[in-house]
Amino acid sequence: MLDTQAKNELLDIVGIDKYLDRPEELACYSYDAFLEEALPDAVIFPETSDQVSRILKIASRYKIPVTGRGAGTSVCGAPVPVKHGIVMCFSQMDKIIEINTPDRYIIVQPGVVNADIQKALEPFGFFYPPDPASMSVSTIGGNIAQNAGGPRCLKYGVTVDYVLGMEVVLASGDIVRFGSKNIKDVTGYRLSSLFCGSEGTLGIITEAILKVAPKPETVKTLMVTFDDLDNTAKAVTDIIGSGIIPVAMELMDNLTLNAIEDAASLGLDREAQGSLLIEIDGVKEACEKEMMHIIEKVKKNGAIHIQEAMTDIERENLWTARRSAYGVFAKLAPDIFSEDVTVPVSKVPLMIRKIVEITDKYHLKVGVLAHAGDGNMHPMIPADRSNKEEWKKVEAAFSEIFQAAVDLGGTLSGEHGIGLAKAAYLPLVMNKDSIDLMKKIKQVIDPDLILNPGKFV
Ligand SMILES: Cc1cc2nc3c(=O)[nH]c(=O)nc-3n(C[C@H](O)[C@H](O)[C@H](O)COP(=O)(O)OP(=O)(O)OC[C@H]3O[C@@H](n4cnc5c(N)ncnc54)[C@H](O)[C@@H]3O)c2cc1C
């Protein structure tokens, strides 16, 4: 429970309508899409940067932890308030402030949902490239704090590549701004990049200037199936190695295809052992030429069926299938443990073999889903956490998968972040001095450890 005096001061800022502290209300803000839960003492919905600043001044004075929250779709426990205190939710700060396509930027508040930016840009013939599969609900504040990726980041890059500037409120309540509306801007440390991926541990993002891009003239989408998972992975390495960078190259294995088909009956090939959803874009002639090369490569690797989406509806169906993969897996078992290891693309076939080998060893089911073109794997293990034996095996399998990725020159997370899920594994990829440097940065910016305490730093 918050100190009564602190509560009254917070109510003075936001009013009773924007403040929750009944147990049944708090429960709704105690979890994300990972497995841990912790109740906050209060949930607060600021409407302006000034309110955020005043709330943080109070939190600092009373030493109350503050954890930012967008849509709560994190899959690593990042917005779970493990040290309780205040959850600050941005659903009331959801305005698009400015769209400027000649200068190629958009200015938004943190609670704007990613898909709403796409919709707003549509009439201008522009789009915002980072497209997490959660884009229909996840917010820009959460996307920036997690440095979110997504399928088309293979060609276009991840969130940090699109953040030109931002306004941030520090734990002290100070409001700072970095970057600008300019595509080129080399003035001092690029602090906006430091806040990308900081998981709400350094400051609260209250406004962001994002780079946008013109929509390509042509988009082509292919679904290719294989009767062998290894060949599916080899086709990925072959395509990228030949110098073609598709917009997206999404790999799904047999278990994943069947889980989607069971849930949505989209006509996916239930017999296929692997599939690639490949998208390219650009000018028409270049797309046609690239498509020919891609078809040549997948055939060389034993493709059994190649289907091009001929209409927008067909294309959307294929993407719906891919985006629903995580959700449909949740139907296979009481819990679903999904990971995010990433390896250099030439190591994708080897990493997939490792994942299958390790999970076979522990007699666990695994669905292999990957943004394969950039080496980002999402092995998903359906399991029951209340079955202690099974859960031990899941944990052991993932430890080995992390180690295997690192041994192949890869890393722990391509886009989901560290949060609570992988904090213990950080030393696999960072030495002590590097972790100490992160701790020192945190100490300088947030000396009382007010912001999202208990996480990776
Ligand atoms: C079905 C599904 C599919 C997904 N697909 C992808 C994918 O393709 N790519 C990908 O990268 N991720 C994916 N994710 C993970 C998740 O959607 C992303 O990490 C997303 O960016 C989280 O946004 P959110 O608004 O839900 O943030 P939350 O989960 O609410 O918060 C995430 C982090 O951001 C912090 N935060 C939120 N707002 C602010 C703010 N204004 N200032 C400072 N910190 C803040 C929180 O404290 C927390 O640490 C997926 C998740 C699900 C459930």
> Which residues make beta-bridge pairs with 81?
none
Question: Which residues line ligand 1 at a C-beta cut-off of 6 Å?
Answer: 32-33, 67-75, 78-79, 90, 110, 132-134, 138-139, 141-143, 145-146, 148-150, 199-200, 204-205, 326-327, 415-416, 452
Mean pLDDT of the chain: 96
Residue 104 reports pLDDT greater than 90: yes
CA dihedral sign of residues 144, 149, 154, 155: negative
> Among 66, 88, 109, 138, which is best to mutate for testing ligand 1, by the most ligand atoms less than 8 A from CB?
138
Angle separating helix axes 284-300 and 229-241, nearest 10 degrees: 140
Tell how far the Cα of 415 is from the centroid of ligand 1, in angstroms.
10
Which numbered atom of ligand 1 lies nearest the CA of 199? 49
Check if CATH label 3.20.20.70 holds for domain 4-89: no
Encoded tokens for 121: 């840009």
Q: What percent of the chain is predicted at pLDDT more than 90?
A: 93
**SS3 of residue 112 by DSSP:** coil
Residue 323 reports pLDDT greater than 90: no
Strand 42-44 and strand 86-89: pairing?
Answer: parallel
Tell how far the Cα of 420 is from the centroid of ligand 1, in angstroms.
14
Tell me the C-alpha distance between 414 and 421, whole Å: 14
Q: What percent of the chain is predicted at pLDDT more than 70?
A: 100
**CATH for 218-407, options being 3.90.180.10, 3.40.462.40, 1.10.357.10, 3.40.190.10:** 3.40.462.40
Tell me the C-alpha distance between 249 and 405, whole Å: 20
User: Domain coordinates of the chain in residue numbers?
Assistant: 4-89, 96-214, 218-407
Encoded tokens for 259: 């889980």
Residue 279 reports pLDDT greater than 90: yes
Q: What is the CA radius of gyration of the chain?
A: 22
Say what the pTM is.
0.96
Identify the residue whose C-alpha is closest to ligand 1 atom 13.
132
Q: What pLDDT is stored for residue 130 in this prediction? A: 98
The model's pLDDT over 141-163, given as tens digits with 9 standing for 90+, comes to: 999 999 999 999 999 999 999 99
Q: What pLDDT is stored for residue 324 in this prediction? A: 87
Q: What pLDDT is stored for residue 266 in this prediction? A: 84
The model's pLDDT over 238-253, given as tens digits with 9 standing for 90+, comes to: 999 999 999 999 999 9
As a whole number, mean pLDDT of residues 394-402 equals: 96
Tell how far the Cα of 79 is from the centroid of ligand 1, in angstroms.
8
Encoded tokens for 79: 């917005």
H-only helix segments in 86-245: 114-121, 140-145, 153-156, 191-195, 229-241
Is there a contact between 79 and 87 (Cβ–Cβ < 8 Å)? yes
Residue 265 reports pLDDT greater than 90: no
Tell how far the Cα of 135 is from the centroid of ligand 1, in angstroms.
9
- The counts of H helices and E strands in the chain are 15, 18
Residue 264 reports pLDDT greater than 90: no
CATH topology for 96-214 is 3.30.465
Kindly report which listed range (201-210, 218-227, 318-327, 394-403) carries the lowest average pLDDT score: 318-327
